Chains A and B, each alone.
Chain A
């Protein structure tokens, strides 16, 4: 299928199948982009973004760039997953956009800037593309698609490539520094130390008694009784309010049989 497409593209015509794919997916990609900006829920935004990125990946594949299309899907699914996690960690699960505008006029400013940026990008691309001499896929893919990309990345564009990777690493290290809480080695409690502390004098290593054991009430506020009949304070949760017990509740339960 790809080779047939490559032939069609080399001949300088747009295949019908490519047109069909474009006219189905382009609106979907646009809907995804608009949905990302418009949706109130941050997680829904991230999901709309996934949709747009998937459509872009398919476009690359249709335009005889299977490697870059697949890479787009693999890389951006991971990236948006990160975005998803950030959303969850920073704003919580149920956070939605505030309806009140905190900065006055920011929406208008954002729209103007966005349209301006799109115009800049579009005209810039147009100027570059119009002066481009097209060599055709056959020449570009002479040594294979992936090999051609690799040789360009590691020869002509190696500087840009390295700078981009340095930027990303800086960002990753910066994020780590912000999120990382430094702990001194002495402050870390290792598993053997926890075990020793558990069996140290003054700590009872077994589980706490459940409330109401050997008592006549099944309320969680009724303390369990120790074998000598005294109430076990460890059996009640500290957040429970103390409750006056009735005489029947305090009385010992029949355990010796009638």
Chain B
């Protein structure tokens, strides 16, 4: 069955009430199942990276582990701290969760499909400013975290809440700016429109040449894509940017005082936010629900229910990157993190938007080829002049080790001799013999390195 492919804004708002209800419940179920799955997925992937099995007891491959954890969490005692601001302490997790769910209302899962004989887009709703809804929801979601920190009435949550408010505001600026380039290229802010704009390689008429630009904005607008992803990690409080809940400094951060279902709501909101930014990234930069290249050669790939599969796979791949980052990178220091956001991401983004709008203006205006070249050359000359006149760092030749030792003041901490040869461990032979007798492995015995030295 082949239906009209791309939904436009006119296709929304005509669903009967039962269809709207089905879609709302479907989005809700999708998010909750994705959360349960993502927790298991994260634990398994991190475990595999650390060479251990991970949860593998409940259900096949341990898939039901997060369900069991969630049930246990619900039956735990709900503790309200004495110094807490009761009303705000209660509302905070609700705000977080409601905003997290709302943001997903505009995610396009697929093209027009037929549900019980009604033709409808595979998307809850779309508005002309759909992407801004996600930004607004994430902006409101910060309140959940900040209020939780404030209302708990203790020090660590307050510090965590303050940190997260600063962090999320800064990274939301970077995130919003990185989306601007997508708006400029797609010419629309509705998510279904952006997916449609990435359908085929657009013909670009530039410098008198006809070029076919890549269809995915991840390639066409690579700087925006990179900045979006980095700021998305900051926005969702994930490692290496999980400073609001830095265990080594702030115990649990904003949710230190939370327990039972209220804590579960924060947990849910964090994972839903992760799914949301991944889904938004898929929609804005990775072609949305459209099949990637080798699959898209098949005619039926972009019609019917198949796109739901491509969409989910893309989201899962992005979630994998989140987990990968967590398993690989250590946490940043707070001041370095803020400096990175304000002094690297935002200026780079502004320059990139300026360059992009310059290119777009040149494309749209009727300038001749020489004029275009002159403009580009002028920009290049200015760039080179700035690069030439940029003050360079004073170069200092580093001192040799011996010189550094020479310069140390008297009474310094004792140093071992620089030409030390590590003596052979007299027990090395015995240890090696013990190991091989136990038959553990073929590893090099302890001390053999020293022998070679």
Contacts and interface: CB of A to CB of B under 8 A. Distances in A.
Nearest to B409: A201
Interface residues of A, number: 32
Contacts of A81: 142-143, 146, 165, 169
B412 A199 contact: yes
Contacts of A88: 150, 158, 162
Contacts of B10: 3
Contact of A85 (B13, B132, B162, B412): B162
Contacts of B165: 81, 84-85
Contacts of A67: 128-129, 132, 189
Interface string A201-240: 1100100000000000000000000000000000000000
A93 B150 contact: yes
Contacts of B88: 43-44, 47
Interface string B179-190: 000000000010
Interface of A is mostly: helix
Contacts of B133: 70
B169 A78 contact: yes
A233 to B, nearest CB: 20
B143 A2 contact: no
B136 A66 contact: no
Given A2-B127, A71-B132, A73-B139, A199 B413 contact: yes
Nearest to A1: B13
A73 B136 contact: yes
A4 B15 CA distance: 13
Interface in A160-184: none
Interface of B is mostly: helix
A70 B412 contact: no
Contacts of A144: 128
B43 to A, nearest CB: 33
B9 A3 contact: yes
A200 B136 contact: no
Interface string A63-95: 000110011011001100100110010000100
B194 to A, nearest CB: 14
A187 to B, nearest CB: 17
A47 B147 CA distance: 9
Interface in A1-53: 1-4, 41, 43-44, 47, 50
Given A2-B13, A201-B409, A43 B150 contact: yes
A95 B85 CA distance: 13
Given A41-B85, A81-B146, A201-B410, 5 more contacts: A74-B132, A74-B139, A88-B158, A93-B150, A93-B153
Name the 3 nearest CB pairs between A and B, nearest first.
A201-B411, A70-B132, A1-B13
7 contacts: A3-B13, A44-B88, A66-B127, A67-B129, A77-B140, A93-B153, A201-B409
Interface of A: 1-4, 41, 43-44, 47, 50, 54, 57, 66-67, 70-71, 73-74, 77-78, 81, 84-85, 88, 93, 144-146, 199-202, 205
